[in-house]
Amino acid sequence: EIPRIAGIIIYIFLSTLAFFSIKSNYLNVILISALPIVIVGGKEDIFHNSSPKLRLMMMILSAGAFIYLLPTKLPEIDLPILNQILDFGFMKEIFFIFSIMVIVNGNNLIDGVNGNLAFSNIFQLISIMLLALIVDDDKVVQLSCLLLIPLIVFALFNFPFGKIFCGDTGAYFYGFAVSASIIYLFGKNDQLLSWNAILILLYPSIELLFSFIRKKFFENKSPFNADAKHIHSLIFRYLIKKNSRFNNNSLVTILLMPFILSPLLSYQFYEDIFAIITIIFIVFFIYVMIYFILLNKLSEK
């Protein structure tokens, strides 16, 4: 069995680095607040017995801890009506806790084929770093680099032959860390359009929200039950249908590159709200179109 411990190794490496070498308050807050999801993820990776309710509780705990320890203000949303709603009581905190949970879960869902999660998170972090360079935010640039280094090393072993998997720990932690980096960057730099954050986080968000709607409203199943109907699963099944001897799922990751690379467009069009919103709708439309085409092809005899 291929080990699912890369996420645990990465968390230990970053914690050791933060304790003995690198001084980064941003990284420290992420490592401390991520501990509940790292524990539940590690429990699943090693013993395979973590219940959905326990995972959900630990995600709420981690997201809440991060919002509480946050050394910056929470970002503003470029939708006036939503901003007014979020200014009421603790609505803003609840909104960002929910948002973090969406990305954490979505990141876990895209971890189904070699390289997909690693490359998705790599290009998300590169996009965050490029935007941070534009606004001269050295702390977020440093954080992005620290998170990128072990992820790139992992990718070398995971893609294309899958010598090691990141496991739930790695998927949860990097979904959490990318979300936290976005909140740091956009909370400190109001001049950046929040639509850029949506574009950077779009792929895992679509995966989770589309999966939730499909299961809850069309299949009458629990959204917490895993299945093999995510877009990478459908592509893999379609490739097998075309060639029964196909046995390396790394090709699926290459075919998913339009979604994986889309965060980089946030750097190219970071000041153009019309372009960013248009790209978001195009990516969403392409995802839905490919999804239903694959379902239709796989249902054919």
- Select from 147, 156, 295, 160 the least CA-distant residue to 233: 295
Rounded-to-integer distance, Cα 24 and Cα 12, Å: 16
Which residues of 98-238 form beta strands (DSSP E)? none
HSE-CB at 107 with a 13 A cutoff on CA atoms is 32
Rounded-to-integer distance, Cα 275 and Cα 281, Å: 10
Considering the chain, what is the average pLDDT of its residues? 93
pTM: 0.95
Rounded-to-integer distance, Cα 34 and Cα 177, Å: 8
pLDDT grade, residue 103 (50/70/90)?
Answer: very high
Position of tokens 């970053």? 14
Tokens of 23: 């001084």
The percent of residues above 90 in pLDDT, for the chain, comes to 79
> What's the full length of the chain, in residues?
301
Tokens of 116: 């997909």
Which of 3-7, 25-29, 228-232 comes out lowest in average pLDDT?
228-232
- Select from 90, 72, 80 the least CA-distant residue to 194: 80
Average pLDDT for residues 31-55, to the nearest whole number? 94
pLDDT tens for 128-182 read 999 999 999 999 999 999 999 999 999 999 999 999 999 999 999 999 999 999 9
Rounded-to-integer distance, Cα 114 and Cα 248, Å: 9
Residue 76 phi, psi (nearest 5): -85, 150
Rounded-to-integer distance, Cα 64 and Cα 78, Å: 23
Contact 137, 189 (CB under 8 A): yes
- Select from 128, 227, 226 the least CA-distant residue to 178: 128
Q: What angle do CA 208, 41, 56 make, to 5 degrees?
A: 50
User: Which pLDDT does position 301 carry in this prediction?
Assistant: 62
Number of Cβ within a 10 Å radius of residue 296: 9
User: Which pLDDT does position 188 carry in this prediction?
Assistant: 94
For every residue of 222-283, DSSP letters joined together read -TTS--S-SHHHHHHHHHHHH-TT---THHHHHHTHHHHHGGGHHHHTTT-HHHHHHHHHHH
